[in-house]
Structure 1
Amino acid sequence: MFLYEQEAQMGDDRQDLIEILQMRFGVLPEELEEHLYQLSEFETLQRLILVAANVPTLRVFMEELQEGNHPFKLVGERFNPLREIGDRNEE
């Protein structure tokens, strides 16, 4: 893959990540969007796309954002996208 193709793919992945977060959590803090546009590692973006699709709250996403690109598994209630709904139904 050529460098310009990689850069285009990274741009697409950044935009996908932001759109997933907006669909799930609404308007994002400007600082968060700026931070996401600065990401430059393909693996990190791929991990964060999976995280964004599975975390129950934006707060949990922000915590995972600080983790970098360490090996990970999306297991447990921390990555249950329906946890917040279940919590509200129990009230």
Structure 2
Amino acid sequence: MFLFEQEAQIGDDRQDLLEILRMRFGAIPPSLEEQLYQLQDYATLERLILVAANAPTLQVFIEEVNEGNDSFKIVGDRFNPLQQLYEKGDKDEK
């Protein structure tokens, strides 16, 4: 892959990531947006797209971003996008 193609792909993935975050969580903090614009690693952006799609809260996503490039586990209730609905249902039943 040529360098300009890779840069374009990274830019596209970054925009996709930001759009997923906005769709799921609304406005995102400018500091987080700036942090995401600093990312230049394709694999990290791909992983964060999966995290953004599965994290139940923006805070969980931010924690995962701060874990760095070595983090790769996206399992358990921590990454269940429906977790808040389950928690809300439990409260409603009580």
* TM-score range for the pair, normalised by the shorter chain length: over 0.9
Q: Distance in 2 between matches of 1:19 and 1:58?
A: 13
TM-score (norm 1): 0.95
- 1:48, CA displacement in angstroms? 0.4
Q: Distance in 2 between matches of 1:30 and 1:73?
A: 26
Instruction: Give the structure 2 partner of residue 7 of structure 1.
Output: 7
Q: How many residues align?
A: 91
Instruction: Give the structure 1 partner of residue 64 of structure 2.
Output: 64
Contact 2:51 2:79 in 1 (8 A): yes
- 1:5, CA displacement in angstroms? 0.6
Aligned positions of 1:20-35 closer than 5 A: 20-35=20-35
3-state SS of the aligned residue for 2:63?
helix
TM-score (norm 2): 0.92
Contact 1:47 1:69 in 2 (8 A): no
Instruction: Give the structure 2 partner of residue 52 of structure 1.
Output: 52
Gaps of 5+ in 2: none
Q: Distance in 2 between matches of 1:88 and 1:74?
A: 23
- 1:71, CA displacement in angstroms? 4.8
**Percent of aligned pairs with the same amino acid:** 65
- 1:24, CA displacement in angstroms? 0.3
Runs (4+) off by over 3 Å: none
Instruction: Give the structure 2 partner of residue 79 of structure 1.
Output: 79
Contact 2:64 2:71 in 1 (8 A): no
Contact 1:55 1:78 in 2 (8 A): yes
Instruction: Give the structure 2 partner of residue 90 of structure 1.
Output: 90
